[in-house]
Structure 1
Protein backbone atom coordinates (compact mmCIF):
# COMPACT_ATOMS: atom_id res chain seq x y z
CA UNK A 1 0.00 0.00 0.00
CA UNK A 2 1.47 3.38 -1.01
CA UNK A 3 0.50 5.03 2.27
CA UNK A 4 2.40 2.54 4.37
CA UNK A 5 5.45 2.83 2.12
CA UNK A 6 5.41 6.61 2.38
CA UNK A 7 5.53 6.45 6.19
CA UNK A 8 8.49 4.10 6.39
CA UNK A 9 11.79 5.78 6.98
CA UNK A 10 13.87 2.62 7.06
CA UNK A 11 15.51 1.90 3.76
CA UNK A 12 15.77 5.56 2.84
CA UNK A 13 19.17 6.87 1.84
CA UNK A 14 20.68 9.65 3.94
CA UNK A 15 19.68 12.23 1.34
CA UNK A 16 16.12 10.86 1.17
CA UNK A 17 15.87 10.91 4.97
CA UNK A 18 17.18 14.50 5.01
CA UNK A 19 14.62 15.47 2.36
CA UNK A 20 11.81 13.82 4.33
CA UNK A 21 12.95 15.59 7.49
CA UNK A 22 12.95 18.95 5.70
CA UNK A 23 9.39 18.34 4.51
CA UNK A 24 8.14 17.42 7.98
CA UNK A 25 9.94 20.40 9.52
CA UNK A 26 8.45 22.72 6.89
CA UNK A 27 4.95 21.43 7.67
CA UNK A 28 5.63 21.94 11.37
CA UNK A 29 6.73 25.55 10.84
CA UNK A 30 3.71 26.32 8.68
CA UNK A 31 1.33 24.73 11.19
CA UNK A 32 2.99 26.63 14.05
CA UNK A 33 2.38 29.89 12.20
CA UNK A 34 -1.14 29.35 10.93
CA UNK A 35 -2.52 25.99 12.01
CA UNK A 36 -4.09 23.38 9.77
CA UNK A 37 -5.14 25.77 7.01
CA UNK A 38 -1.60 27.14 6.65
CA UNK A 39 -0.23 23.72 5.74
CA UNK A 40 -0.64 23.80 1.97
CA UNK A 41 1.31 21.23 -0.02
CA UNK A 42 2.75 23.85 -2.40
CA UNK A 43 3.93 25.91 0.55
CA UNK A 44 5.45 22.87 2.25
CA UNK A 45 7.31 21.94 -0.94
CA UNK A 46 8.59 25.49 -1.39
CA UNK A 47 9.61 25.79 2.27
CA UNK A 48 11.39 22.40 2.14
CA UNK A 49 13.00 23.24 -1.22
CA UNK A 50 11.63 20.16 -2.97
CA UNK A 51 9.47 19.69 -6.03
CA UNK A 52 5.75 19.33 -5.36
CA UNK A 53 5.83 15.87 -6.98
CA UNK A 54 8.59 14.82 -4.59
CA UNK A 55 6.51 15.91 -1.61
CA UNK A 56 3.55 13.88 -2.89
CA UNK A 57 5.76 10.79 -3.34
CA UNK A 58 6.61 10.91 0.36
CA UNK A 59 3.24 12.16 1.60
CA UNK A 60 0.18 11.64 -0.65
CA UNK A 61 -1.87 14.36 1.09
CA UNK A 62 -1.74 17.11 3.68
CA UNK A 63 -3.57 14.86 6.12
CA UNK A 64 -1.04 12.10 5.56
CA UNK A 65 1.81 14.52 6.18
CA UNK A 66 0.29 15.85 9.41
CA UNK A 67 -0.61 12.40 10.75
CA UNK A 68 2.94 11.28 9.89
CA UNK A 69 4.18 14.20 11.97
CA UNK A 70 1.90 13.11 14.81
CA UNK A 71 3.27 9.56 14.57
CA UNK A 72 6.79 10.93 14.81
CA UNK A 73 5.87 12.92 17.94
CA UNK A 74 4.13 9.90 19.50
CA UNK A 75 7.21 7.76 18.84
CA UNK A 76 9.34 10.34 20.66
CA UNK A 77 6.96 10.23 23.64
CA UNK A 78 7.01 6.43 23.77
CA UNK A 79 10.82 6.53 23.57
CA UNK A 80 11.05 9.00 26.44
CA UNK A 81 8.83 6.75 28.55
CA UNK A 82 11.32 3.91 28.24
CA UNK A 83 14.06 6.31 29.40
CA UNK A 84 11.94 7.74 32.21
CA UNK A 85 9.26 5.25 33.29
CA UNK A 86 5.90 6.52 34.55
CA UNK A 87 5.78 7.64 38.17
CA UNK A 88 3.13 6.58 40.63
CA UNK A 89 2.20 3.74 42.93
CA UNK A 90 -1.12 2.87 41.30
CA UNK A 91 -2.11 2.36 37.66
CA UNK A 92 -4.20 5.54 37.81
CA UNK A 93 -1.27 7.60 39.17
CA UNK A 94 1.01 6.21 36.44
CA UNK A 95 -1.66 6.88 33.81
CA UNK A 96 -2.01 10.48 34.98
CA UNK A 97 1.79 10.87 34.76
CA UNK A 98 1.98 9.42 31.24
CA UNK A 99 -1.00 11.34 29.90
CA UNK A 100 0.20 14.50 31.62
CA UNK A 101 3.51 14.23 29.78
CA UNK A 102 1.76 13.63 26.47
CA UNK A 103 -0.66 16.52 26.95
CA UNK A 104 2.11 18.93 28.00
CA UNK A 105 4.01 17.98 24.86
CA UNK A 106 0.93 18.65 22.72
CA UNK A 107 0.26 21.99 24.39
CA UNK A 108 3.78 23.31 23.73
CA UNK A 109 2.76 24.00 20.14
CA UNK A 110 -1.03 24.22 20.20
CA UNK A 111 -1.46 25.16 16.53
CA UNK A 112 0.71 22.24 15.41
CA UNK A 113 -1.12 19.86 17.74
CA UNK A 114 -4.50 21.11 16.56
CA UNK A 115 -3.43 20.59 12.94
CA UNK A 116 -2.25 17.04 13.70
CA UNK A 117 -5.44 16.09 15.55
CA UNK A 118 -7.63 17.65 12.86
CA UNK A 119 -5.81 15.58 10.22
CA UNK A 120 -6.09 12.47 12.39
CA UNK A 121 -9.89 12.73 12.55
CA UNK A 122 -10.35 13.92 8.96
CA UNK A 123 -11.87 10.63 7.83
CA UNK A 124 -9.52 10.35 4.84
CA UNK A 125 -9.37 6.66 3.94
CA UNK A 126 -5.78 6.85 2.68
CA UNK A 127 -4.56 7.61 6.19
CA UNK A 128 -6.52 4.79 7.86
CA UNK A 129 -3.38 2.67 8.45
CA UNK A 130 -1.69 5.63 10.13
CA UNK A 131 -4.76 6.42 12.22
CA UNK A 132 -4.85 2.80 13.33
CA UNK A 133 -1.14 2.87 14.21
CA UNK A 134 -1.62 6.15 16.07
CA UNK A 135 -4.43 4.65 18.12
CA UNK A 136 -2.19 1.64 18.83
CA UNK A 137 0.52 4.00 20.07
CA UNK A 138 -1.98 5.84 22.30
CA UNK A 139 -3.03 2.45 23.67
CA UNK A 140 0.62 1.44 24.11
CA UNK A 141 1.28 4.56 26.19
CA UNK A 142 -1.71 3.75 28.39
CA UNK A 143 -0.62 0.11 28.70
CA UNK A 144 2.87 1.25 29.80
CA UNK A 145 1.20 3.23 32.56
CA UNK A 146 -0.63 0.11 33.76
CA UNK A 147 2.79 -1.56 34.12
CA UNK A 148 1.62 -5.13 33.83
CA UNK A 149 3.58 -7.73 31.85
CA UNK A 150 0.50 -8.90 29.98
CA UNK A 151 -2.86 -7.20 29.76
CA UNK A 152 -6.00 -9.13 30.55
CA UNK A 153 -8.95 -8.91 28.18
CA UNK A 154 -10.62 -6.48 30.57
CA UNK A 155 -7.50 -4.30 30.71
CA UNK A 156 -7.26 -4.31 26.91
CA UNK A 157 -10.87 -3.11 26.75
CA UNK A 158 -10.11 -0.42 29.35
CA UNK A 159 -7.09 0.73 27.33
CA UNK A 160 -9.28 1.01 24.21
CA UNK A 161 -11.86 3.05 26.12
CA UNK A 162 -9.20 5.36 27.57
CA UNK A 163 -7.58 5.89 24.16
CA UNK A 164 -11.01 6.85 22.82
CA UNK A 165 -11.62 9.25 25.70
CA UNK A 166 -8.19 10.80 25.14
CA UNK A 167 -8.83 11.33 21.44
CA UNK A 168 -12.30 12.71 22.14
CA UNK A 169 -10.90 15.14 24.71
CA UNK A 170 -8.21 16.26 22.23
CA UNK A 171 -10.86 16.88 19.57
CA UNK A 172 -12.83 18.90 22.12
CA UNK A 173 -9.68 20.87 22.98
CA UNK A 174 -8.82 21.77 19.38
CA UNK A 175 -12.46 22.66 18.73
CA UNK A 176 -12.53 25.04 21.67
CA UNK A 177 -15.12 22.96 23.54
CA UNK A 178 -12.77 21.49 26.15
CA UNK A 179 -10.17 23.66 27.90
CA UNK A 180 -6.64 22.22 27.84
CA UNK A 181 -6.77 21.75 31.60
CA UNK A 182 -9.91 19.61 31.30
CA UNK A 183 -8.28 17.05 28.99
CA UNK A 184 -6.43 15.52 31.94
CA UNK A 185 -9.50 15.74 34.18
CA UNK A 186 -11.54 13.77 31.63
CA UNK A 187 -8.83 11.12 31.34
CA UNK A 188 -8.48 10.75 35.09
CA UNK A 189 -12.26 10.46 35.53
CA UNK A 190 -12.44 7.82 32.80
CA UNK A 191 -9.51 5.92 34.31
CA UNK A 192 -11.20 5.82 37.70
CA UNK A 193 -14.36 4.47 36.07
CA UNK A 194 -12.76 1.73 33.97
CA UNK A 195 -9.73 0.65 36.00
Structure 2
Protein backbone atom coordinates (compact mmCIF):
# COMPACT_ATOMS: atom_id res chain seq x y z
CA UNK A 1 0.00 0.00 0.00
CA UNK A 2 1.48 3.35 -1.00
CA UNK A 3 1.98 6.02 1.61
CA UNK A 4 -0.13 9.14 1.35
CA UNK A 5 1.72 12.40 1.32
CA UNK A 6 0.88 16.06 1.61
CA UNK A 7 1.71 18.61 -1.03
CA UNK A 8 2.37 21.28 1.56
CA UNK A 9 6.03 21.67 2.54
CA UNK A 10 5.44 21.42 6.28
CA UNK A 11 3.42 18.89 8.22
CA UNK A 12 1.10 20.42 10.79
CA UNK A 13 2.06 17.49 13.02
CA UNK A 14 5.40 19.24 13.25
CA UNK A 15 3.85 22.60 13.97
CA UNK A 16 6.61 23.50 16.42
CA UNK A 17 8.96 23.71 13.44
CA UNK A 18 6.78 26.10 11.43
CA UNK A 19 7.89 29.71 11.23
CA UNK A 20 5.40 32.23 12.59
CA UNK A 21 3.10 34.07 10.22
CA UNK A 22 4.24 37.60 9.46
CA UNK A 23 1.73 40.32 10.27
CA UNK A 24 -0.36 41.64 7.40
CA UNK A 25 1.54 44.42 5.63
CA UNK A 26 0.83 48.10 6.16
CA UNK A 27 2.57 49.60 3.11
CA UNK A 28 0.07 50.20 0.26
CA UNK A 29 2.04 48.26 -2.37
CA UNK A 30 2.47 45.28 -0.06
CA UNK A 31 -1.20 45.42 0.93
CA UNK A 32 -2.16 45.11 -2.74
CA UNK A 33 0.08 42.07 -3.12
CA UNK A 34 -1.33 40.53 0.09
CA UNK A 35 -4.89 41.09 -1.18
CA UNK A 36 -3.93 39.52 -4.53
CA UNK A 37 -2.62 36.45 -2.73
CA UNK A 38 -5.88 36.01 -0.80
CA UNK A 39 -8.04 36.60 -3.88
CA UNK A 40 -6.03 34.06 -5.87
CA UNK A 41 -6.08 31.54 -3.02
CA UNK A 42 -9.88 31.85 -2.79
CA UNK A 43 -10.08 30.26 -6.25
CA UNK A 44 -7.92 27.38 -5.06
CA UNK A 45 -10.09 26.92 -1.93
CA UNK A 46 -12.72 25.24 -4.10
CA UNK A 47 -10.35 22.28 -4.51
CA UNK A 48 -9.74 19.42 -2.08
CA UNK A 49 -7.08 20.29 0.48
CA UNK A 50 -4.75 17.48 -0.54
CA UNK A 51 -4.51 18.90 -4.06
CA UNK A 52 -3.46 22.37 -2.92
CA UNK A 53 0.06 23.71 -3.20
CA UNK A 54 1.51 27.02 -2.08
CA UNK A 55 3.77 27.04 -5.12
CA UNK A 56 0.71 26.90 -7.41
CA UNK A 57 -0.90 29.82 -5.56
CA UNK A 58 2.33 31.84 -5.70
CA UNK A 59 2.66 31.24 -9.46
CA UNK A 60 -0.96 32.18 -10.17
CA UNK A 61 -0.76 35.30 -7.93
CA UNK A 62 2.57 36.24 -9.52
CA UNK A 63 4.37 36.59 -6.18
CA UNK A 64 7.64 35.01 -5.04
CA UNK A 65 7.13 31.78 -3.12
CA UNK A 66 9.23 33.18 -0.28
CA UNK A 67 6.80 36.09 0.10
CA UNK A 68 3.90 33.66 0.34
CA UNK A 69 5.72 31.60 3.00
CA UNK A 70 6.45 34.71 5.03
CA UNK A 71 2.75 35.42 5.45
CA UNK A 72 1.44 31.85 5.30
CA UNK A 73 3.88 29.14 6.40
CA UNK A 74 1.52 26.34 5.34
CA UNK A 75 -1.43 25.74 3.05
CA UNK A 76 -3.70 25.50 6.10
CA UNK A 77 -2.69 28.98 7.27
CA UNK A 78 -3.48 30.35 3.81
CA UNK A 79 -6.89 28.66 3.59
CA UNK A 80 -7.88 29.92 7.04
CA UNK A 81 -6.74 33.43 6.11
CA UNK A 82 -8.92 33.25 2.98
CA UNK A 83 -11.99 32.40 5.06
CA UNK A 84 -11.14 35.09 7.62
CA UNK A 85 -11.04 37.64 4.81
CA UNK A 86 -14.39 36.45 3.46
CA UNK A 87 -15.96 36.85 6.90
CA UNK A 88 -14.46 40.34 7.21
CA UNK A 89 -16.05 41.25 3.88
CA UNK A 90 -19.41 39.94 5.11
CA UNK A 91 -19.05 41.95 8.32
CA UNK A 92 -18.00 45.13 6.52
CA UNK A 93 -20.71 44.86 3.87
CA UNK A 94 -22.88 47.10 6.01
CA UNK A 95 -26.39 46.63 7.25
CA UNK A 96 -29.00 46.30 4.51
CA UNK A 97 -31.71 48.91 4.08
CA UNK A 98 -34.99 48.86 6.03
CA UNK A 99 -36.86 47.39 3.04
CA UNK A 100 -35.34 43.99 3.80
CA UNK A 101 -36.93 42.16 6.72
CA UNK A 102 -34.91 40.90 9.66
CA UNK A 103 -35.55 37.25 8.79
CA UNK A 104 -34.43 37.79 5.20
CA UNK A 105 -31.22 39.52 6.34
CA UNK A 106 -30.42 36.77 8.83
CA UNK A 107 -31.17 33.97 6.38
CA UNK A 108 -29.02 35.59 3.68
CA UNK A 109 -26.03 35.95 5.99
CA UNK A 110 -26.26 32.46 7.43
CA UNK A 111 -26.74 30.94 3.98
CA UNK A 112 -23.69 32.83 2.73
CA UNK A 113 -21.57 31.39 5.55
CA UNK A 114 -22.99 27.92 4.88
CA UNK A 115 -22.21 28.12 1.15
CA UNK A 116 -18.69 29.44 1.76
CA UNK A 117 -17.99 26.34 3.82
CA UNK A 118 -19.72 23.82 1.56
CA UNK A 119 -18.25 25.17 -1.68
CA UNK A 120 -14.70 25.53 -0.39
CA UNK A 121 -13.43 22.07 0.63
CA UNK A 122 -9.91 23.46 1.07
CA UNK A 123 -11.18 25.86 3.73
CA UNK A 124 -13.56 23.41 5.38
CA UNK A 125 -10.84 20.82 5.84
CA UNK A 126 -8.79 23.37 7.77
CA UNK A 127 -11.74 24.46 9.92
CA UNK A 128 -12.45 20.95 11.21
CA UNK A 129 -8.91 19.56 11.36
CA UNK A 130 -7.45 19.14 14.87
CA UNK A 131 -4.39 21.25 15.67
CA UNK A 132 -1.69 20.95 18.28
CA UNK A 133 -1.42 23.50 21.05
CA UNK A 134 2.05 24.36 19.73
CA UNK A 135 0.58 25.82 16.56
CA UNK A 136 -0.27 29.22 18.00
CA UNK A 137 -0.86 30.94 14.65
CA UNK A 138 -3.55 28.46 13.63
CA UNK A 139 -5.21 28.66 17.04
CA UNK A 140 -5.27 32.45 16.79
CA UNK A 141 -6.72 32.29 13.26
CA UNK A 142 -9.46 29.91 14.38
CA UNK A 143 -10.35 32.13 17.37
CA UNK A 144 -10.54 35.15 15.10
CA UNK A 145 -12.68 33.26 12.58
CA UNK A 146 -15.09 32.14 15.31
CA UNK A 147 -15.32 35.70 16.63
CA UNK A 148 -15.93 37.17 13.18
CA UNK A 149 -18.62 34.62 12.31
CA UNK A 150 -20.39 35.27 15.61
CA UNK A 151 -20.12 39.03 15.11
CA UNK A 152 -21.64 38.81 11.62
CA UNK A 153 -24.61 36.69 12.71
CA UNK A 154 -25.14 38.55 16.00
CA UNK A 155 -25.48 41.80 14.03
CA UNK A 156 -28.48 40.25 12.26
CA UNK A 157 -30.07 38.60 15.32
CA UNK A 158 -29.13 41.06 18.09
CA UNK A 159 -28.59 37.94 20.20
CA UNK A 160 -25.18 36.29 20.58
CA UNK A 161 -26.75 33.07 21.93
CA UNK A 162 -28.93 32.66 18.83
CA UNK A 163 -25.94 33.46 16.63
CA UNK A 164 -23.90 30.66 18.23
CA UNK A 165 -26.77 28.19 17.82
CA UNK A 166 -27.05 29.01 14.12
CA UNK A 167 -23.30 28.72 13.58
CA UNK A 168 -23.25 25.30 15.28
CA UNK A 169 -26.14 24.28 13.02
CA UNK A 170 -24.19 25.47 9.98
CA UNK A 171 -21.23 23.29 11.02
CA UNK A 172 -23.44 20.25 11.45
CA UNK A 173 -25.25 20.76 8.16
CA UNK A 174 -21.99 21.24 6.27
CA UNK A 175 -20.73 17.92 7.61
CA UNK A 176 -24.05 16.21 6.77
CA UNK A 177 -23.81 17.44 3.19
CA UNK A 178 -20.16 16.41 2.91
CA UNK A 179 -21.01 12.93 4.23
CA UNK A 180 -24.00 12.76 1.87
CA UNK A 181 -26.48 12.29 4.69
CA UNK A 182 -28.36 15.35 3.43
CA UNK A 183 -28.64 16.89 0.01
CA UNK A 184 -27.62 20.51 -0.40
CA UNK A 185 -31.27 21.43 -0.93
CA UNK A 186 -32.37 19.66 2.29
CA UNK A 187 -29.66 21.40 4.29
CA UNK A 188 -30.63 24.78 2.87
CA UNK A 189 -34.28 24.18 3.76
CA UNK A 190 -33.35 23.19 7.32
CA UNK A 191 -31.22 26.30 7.68
CA UNK A 192 -34.01 28.55 6.42
CA UNK A 193 -36.46 26.97 8.87
CA UNK A 194 -34.03 27.46 11.74
CA UNK A 195 -33.58 31.14 10.88
CA UNK A 196 -37.35 31.58 10.76
CA UNK A 197 -37.86 29.88 14.13
CA UNK A 198 -35.13 31.92 15.82
CA UNK A 199 -36.45 35.23 14.48
CA UNK A 200 -39.95 34.40 15.68
CA UNK A 201 -38.84 33.29 19.15
CA distance in 2, matches of 1:114, 1:77: 19
TM-superposed deviation, 1:130: 1.5
Q: Contact 1:117–1:171 at 8 Å: present in 2 too? A: no
* Aligned with 1:97 (options 108, 120, 125): 108
- Radius of gyration: which is bigger? 2
Q: Does 1:132 align with 2:132?
A: no
CA distance in 2, matches of 1:13, 1:173: 42
Where does the alignment leave 5 or more consecutive residues of structure 2 unmatched?
Answer: 1-18
Q: Does 1:157 align with 2:157?
A: no
Cα distance change, pair 87–73 in 1 and its aligned pair in 2 (3 A): same
Once superposed, which parts of structure 1, at least 4 consecutive aligned residues long, lie more than 6 Å away? Answer: none
CA distance in 2, matches of 1:143, 1:158: 8
CA distance in 2, matches of 1:174, 1:118: 11
Q: Does 1:142 align with 2:149?
A: no
RMSD over aligned Cα atoms:
3.1
Paired residues, number = 177
CA distance in 1, matches of 2:50, 2:99: 35
| TM-score where L is the length of structure 1 | 0.72
Counterpart residue number, 2:41: 27
Whichever structure has more helix as a proportion of its residues is: 1
* Aligned with 1:87 (options 87, 94, 100): 100
Where does the alignment leave 5 or more consecutive residues of structure 1 unmatched?
Answer: 149-154
Q: Contact 2:36–2:61 at 8 Å: present in 1 too? A: yes
Q: Contact 2:114–2:170 at 8 Å: present in 1 too? A: no
Counterpart residue number, 2:61: 48
